[in-house]
Amino acid sequence: MDILQGWLTTSTRAPCEHYDARPSPNDISLLVIHNISLPPNQFGSDHVETFFAGKLDPTEHPFFESIYQVRVSSHLYIRRTGEVVQFVSFEDRAWHAGVSSFQGRTRCNDFSIGIELEGADNIHYTEEQYIALKQVTCQIMHAYPNISLGRIVGHADIAPGRKTDPGVAFDWTRFRQQVCLQQ
């Protein structure tokens, strides 16, 4: 697994239009872990991909009526099977963090990479997801050395009170120990 021009060589590419240029491309220094499931708490569909592409059909589920026009994206999405889908080059700014702050610095999208895990706050993540997350995290840390273990956070950490993901079901200790073994 390598990163070439901001793209993981082993990921499934699903480029979307919900991104723009980073203010400073050399300032990638934060990794943010999220979760997403569409509809909430349901897995295995292509709704996340169509949502990030701006093509979610509001008639397919009542929940979609409230979000189908939202323009968001993430760099990566890790399905419960461990498949990694990439929407935005790491060199570009994905729109995943929203109103956010890390160590006094606002607008985390400017300097972060976002990874969405197919999941929900209270549903345990799969072994395949932890394996894939460890692998991509190690590659990202290698390619972007300003990202250290102390600069890997959850969405809840940069948007407290507004976001809760990746939630209580995410095993931070396990994840950090796995990543440390690769360092």
Structural domains of the chain in order of their starting residue, each with its CATH number = 3-182 (3.40.80.10)
Sign of the Cα torsion 22, 26, 32, 34 reads: positive
17: which DSSP letter? S
Write down the number of H helices and E strands in the chain.
4, 12
Q: What is the pLDDT of residue 52?
A: 97
- Provide the whole-model pTM: 0.96
The catalytic site residues sit at 116
Amino acid present at 117: L
Q: What is the pLDDT of residue 176?
A: 94
Q: Whole-angstrom Cα distance, residue 173 to residue 175?
A: 5
Over 60: is that where the pLDDT of 62 sits? Answer: yes
Residue 65, both tokens: 């009526």
